[in-house]
Amino acid sequence: MTNVVRRALRAGAGLVGAVVLGGLLAGCGAGGGGDVGSSGDDARPREVVPKVSEAVISITPDDAAHDVLPDGQLRVGVEKGELTQVKVADAEGVPVAGTLAADHSGWLPTGKLALSTQYTVDAYAVDGQGRRAAKHAVFTTLVPKHKFIGFYTPEAGSTVGTGMIITVNFNRPVTDRAAVERAITVHAKPAVEVAPHWFGSRRLDLRPKRHWRAGTEVTMSLRLKDVEGADGMYGTQSKNVRFTIGRDQTSTVDADAHTMTVRREGQLFKTLPISAGSPDHPTYQGTMVIAEKFALTRMNGQTVGFGGEYDIPDVPHAMRLTRSGTFLHGNYWAAPGTFGVTNTSHGCVGLADVKGGRSTTPAGWLFEHSLVGDTVEVINSHDRTVAADNGMGGWNLSWQEWRAGSAAALDSAASPESGSNP
C-alpha cells in the first residue's frame, strides 16, 4: 500500500470518528432519543446548583479589628446550625483555650488574651442537613499607651533575715488595687500564710503573721503582665522572684540602758554599748528591720529635716532602719565614753567605730553579723512608735490590722455573693 493510500484511509477514519462523536454529543443534549436538529431550552445542559449551608457563623470582634480589649470581647456564635470546631491562635501559633457551649451555639475563651498581639480565628459549623460552613477572622488586641511595673525587695537569689517584709513599689498610681494584688502571690516552703497590705496607691507589702522560720524558701510570683492597674494602664511583668530566709537573729536596743542585745536563734549572742537619740531627737520606738547595708555612706542633716546641723561624708558600717533616715551606724567622731553612757544622736543608733571602719569595732562586728531583714526592736526611747510604712515597720501592726489592708479581701467582702459585709 502506497503512502498516499495510507494517508487517505487515515483521513477517512478521522471523519467517521468526528461524526460519531457529534452524534453522541447531540444525543446527550437532547435528553435521550431527541431530534438532533431540535432547538430550545431543553436542548441546553442543565446547571448543577451547589447546596449552600444555612449555618451562619458570627465572630466578634470583626475581621481586621484593632485595639481589642483582652477580656470580654472575643466570642464566636452560630445561627441555624451548630459549631463543630473553633481554633484561635496568636501569630506564633500558640493556641487560645476556650469552651464550647453545651448546645454548640457559641464559644468563649477561658482566659484573657494578651495585649499587643495579633490573633487568628477559624470557626466551623454544620446546619441541620449536615452541610458545612466556615469563617475566618484576624484581629489585634490593644496596644496600651500607659504601662506600669513594680520594683521589689528583697532581690532575687538573696538570703535575708527572718523579719523581712516583701515590698513592691509601683512607678504609677494603682487604682484597681484588688486586681493588682491578686496578680502577686507568695509561696513558702514550709508553707505559711502570707498576707498583703497596701500603703497608698503605689506600695504593696506582704508578710506572714509572725517572723519567717529560718531556712524557709520563698517564691514571689509577679503576674502583672496585661493586668489593668488603672484606666488604660497595664502591667508588663511576668516573673518569679526566689529568695531564702537565713538564720534567726533579732536585736533589742534599750535606749535608757544604752545597750543593744543581739540574740541568735533565741540565745544571747552579744551585748553592745550604743548611743541612741538624744532627749531632743529620740529614736523611734518599736520594731524596725534592716533594709540596706552600706560599708560607707554620707549622712547630711538637710536630707532628713535637720538643716545644716551635720554633714558627715564617710559614715562607716551604716544599716538603714527607716525610710525617714534612722540608721544603725559606726561613730568615730563622738567623745570617748559616749557609748553605753549617754544618748547623743539625732535619732540614729550609733556604735563605736574608727574613721574608715574596722571589723574589730562594735559597729564592724554588728555589720558583719547582720543581714538585710534582721529585726531591731527599740524600747525605752520615750518617742512614738515608728509608722508601719516607714521602712519595714509593718511588724508594729497586729495581724488583724495587717490583713485589713488587703484590697482583694475588702473587695470580696463587699461583693453580694460573699454573703458578708465589709
Q: What amino acid positions are annotated as catalytic residues? A: 329, 348
Q: Among 144, 123, 296, which residue's Cα sits nearest to residue 232?
A: 144
d(CA 229, CA 49): 56
DSSP state of 151: E
Cα-Cα-Cα-Cα torsion 212, 218, 224, 230, nearest 10 degrees, comes to: 0
**387 near 324, Cβ under 8 Å?**
no
CB atoms within 10 A of CB 16: 9
Peptide bond into 422 cis (omega under 30): no
Contact present, 68 and 118 (Cβ < 8 Å): no
Half-sphere exposure at residue 205, Cβ-oriented, CA atoms within 13 angstroms: 23
What are the start-end ranges of the E strands in 246-291?
Answer: 249-254, 259-264, 267-273, 286-289
DSSP one-letter string for 244-257: EE---EEEEEETTT
Output DSSP code: residue 114: P
Query: Cα(32)–Cα(54) distance, rounded to whole angstroms?
Result: 35
Tell me the DSSP string of 330-379.
EESSSPTT-TTT---BSS-EEEE--TT--TTSHHHHHHHT--TT-EEEEE
CA distances from residue 99 to 62, 110, 121, 204, 231 in whole angstroms, order as listed: 20, 6, 14, 35, 29
What three-state secondary structure class fits 214?
coil
CA–CA separation, 226 and 235 (whole Å): 5
Please report, to the nearest 10 degrees, the dihedral formed by the alpha carbons of residues 416, 399, 285, 245 taken in order.
Answer: -120
Would you call the peptide bond into 154 cis, given omega within 30 degrees of 0 as the criterion? yes
Q: Are 112 and 97 in contact (CB under 8 A)?
A: no
